[in-house]
Amino acid sequence: MNMPYYRYHVFFCTNQRGNERICCQNHNSLTLRNYAKEQVKNLGLAKQRQARINISGCLNRCAEGPIIVVYPEGVWYTYNSRQDIDEIINEHLIHGRAVERLRI
Protein backbone atom coordinates (compact mmCIF):
# COMPACT_ATOMS: atom_id res chain seq x y z
CA MET A 1 0.00 0.00 0.00
CA ASN A 2 1.25 3.49 -0.84
CA MET A 3 1.85 5.93 1.98
CA PRO A 4 0.13 9.32 1.68
CA TYR A 5 2.33 12.14 0.43
CA TYR A 6 1.50 14.19 3.56
CA ARG A 7 0.74 12.68 6.95
CA TYR A 8 -1.95 15.33 7.53
CA HIS A 9 -3.91 17.34 5.01
CA VAL A 10 -5.70 20.31 6.57
CA PHE A 11 -8.51 22.12 4.76
CA PHE A 12 -9.56 25.60 5.90
CA CYS A 13 -12.95 26.75 4.69
CA THR A 14 -12.48 30.31 3.45
CA ASN A 15 -15.82 30.61 1.70
CA GLN A 16 -17.40 34.05 1.47
CA ARG A 17 -21.16 34.11 0.97
CA GLY A 18 -23.07 37.13 -0.19
CA ASN A 19 -25.96 38.93 1.46
CA GLU A 20 -24.31 38.85 4.89
CA ARG A 21 -25.07 35.15 5.25
CA ILE A 22 -23.13 33.13 7.82
CA CYS A 23 -19.82 31.89 6.42
CA CYS A 24 -16.32 31.07 7.59
CA GLN A 25 -14.71 34.10 5.96
CA ASN A 26 -16.82 36.32 8.25
CA HIS A 27 -14.54 34.96 11.01
CA ASN A 28 -11.23 35.88 9.36
CA SER A 29 -10.63 32.34 8.14
CA LEU A 30 -8.27 33.30 5.30
CA THR A 31 -6.01 35.29 7.61
CA LEU A 32 -5.87 32.43 10.11
CA ARG A 33 -5.29 29.90 7.31
CA ASN A 34 -2.34 31.98 6.12
CA TYR A 35 -1.04 32.07 9.69
CA ALA A 36 -1.34 28.25 9.96
CA LYS A 37 0.46 27.77 6.66
CA GLU A 38 3.32 30.00 7.78
CA GLN A 39 3.58 28.23 11.16
CA VAL A 40 3.67 24.79 9.51
CA LYS A 41 6.38 26.06 7.15
CA ASN A 42 8.40 27.63 10.00
CA LEU A 43 8.24 24.40 12.00
CA GLY A 44 9.51 22.40 9.03
CA LEU A 45 6.34 20.28 8.90
CA ALA A 46 5.69 21.04 5.22
CA LYS A 47 9.22 20.16 4.17
CA GLN A 48 9.04 16.91 6.15
CA ARG A 49 5.67 16.16 4.49
CA GLN A 50 4.12 16.07 7.95
CA ALA A 51 1.34 18.52 7.09
CA ARG A 52 -0.15 20.48 4.20
CA ILE A 53 -2.43 23.47 4.77
CA ASN A 54 -4.97 24.18 2.01
CA ILE A 55 -7.86 26.48 1.24
CA SER A 56 -11.22 24.87 0.77
CA GLY A 57 -14.48 26.08 -0.63
CA CYS A 58 -17.61 25.67 1.44
CA LEU A 59 -17.58 22.57 3.63
CA ASN A 60 -21.28 23.04 4.46
CA ARG A 61 -20.89 23.58 8.21
CA CYS A 62 -21.20 27.36 8.10
CA ALA A 63 -23.15 27.74 11.34
CA GLU A 64 -20.31 26.03 13.23
CA GLY A 65 -17.58 28.11 11.62
CA PRO A 66 -14.95 28.97 11.12
CA ILE A 67 -13.98 25.38 10.47
CA ILE A 68 -11.17 23.16 9.35
CA VAL A 69 -11.03 19.45 8.69
CA VAL A 70 -7.90 17.34 9.15
CA TYR A 71 -7.40 14.22 7.05
CA PRO A 72 -6.85 11.30 7.00
CA GLU A 73 -8.85 11.05 10.26
CA GLY A 74 -11.57 13.47 9.19
CA VAL A 75 -11.40 15.46 12.43
CA TRP A 76 -13.41 18.71 12.28
CA TYR A 77 -12.45 21.77 14.31
CA THR A 78 -13.67 25.26 14.95
CA TYR A 79 -11.23 27.97 16.04
CA ASN A 80 -11.21 31.63 17.01
CA SER A 81 -7.60 32.73 17.36
CA ARG A 82 -3.96 32.16 16.56
CA GLN A 83 -3.69 30.38 19.91
CA ASP A 84 -6.33 27.86 18.77
CA ILE A 85 -4.41 27.31 15.52
CA ASP A 86 -1.15 26.87 17.46
CA GLU A 87 -2.83 24.28 19.69
CA ILE A 88 -4.15 22.31 16.70
CA ILE A 89 -0.71 22.37 15.08
CA ASN A 90 1.09 21.32 18.24
CA GLU A 91 -1.35 18.71 19.48
CA HIS A 92 -2.76 17.22 16.28
CA LEU A 93 -0.18 17.81 13.56
CA ILE A 94 2.91 17.25 15.69
CA HIS A 95 1.74 14.87 18.43
CA GLY A 96 -1.20 13.15 16.72
CA ARG A 97 -3.73 14.02 19.42
CA ALA A 98 -7.08 15.61 18.59
CA VAL A 99 -7.86 18.86 20.43
CA GLU A 100 -11.17 17.91 22.02
CA ARG A 101 -12.13 21.42 23.18
CA LEU A 102 -12.10 22.66 19.55
CA ARG A 103 -13.59 19.58 17.95
CA ILE A 104 -17.02 19.75 16.30
Please report the pLDDT score of residue 58 as a whole number. 87
Domain CATH for 14: 3.40.30.10
Q: Assess if residue 17 is contained within a domain.
A: yes
Q: Assess if residue 85 is contained within a domain.
A: yes
Q: pTM value?
A: 0.92
Go through 33-50 and write b for each residue having 16 or more CB atoms within 10 A of its CB, e for each that does not.
Answer: bebbbebbeebebbeeee
pLDDT digits (tens, 9 = 90+) for 43-97: 999 999 999 999 998 888 878 879 999 999 999 999 999 999 999 999 999 999 9
Q: Where are the extended beta strands (E) located within 1-104?
A: 8-13, 51-56, 67-71, 75-78
Q: Assess if residue 35 is contained within a domain.
A: yes
**How many domains, in total, are found in the chain?**
1
Q: Assess if residue 71 is contained within a domain.
A: yes
List the domain range (segments joined by +) for residue 65: 8-102
pLDDT digits (tens, 9 = 90+) for 8-33: 999 999 877 777 777 777 778 899 99
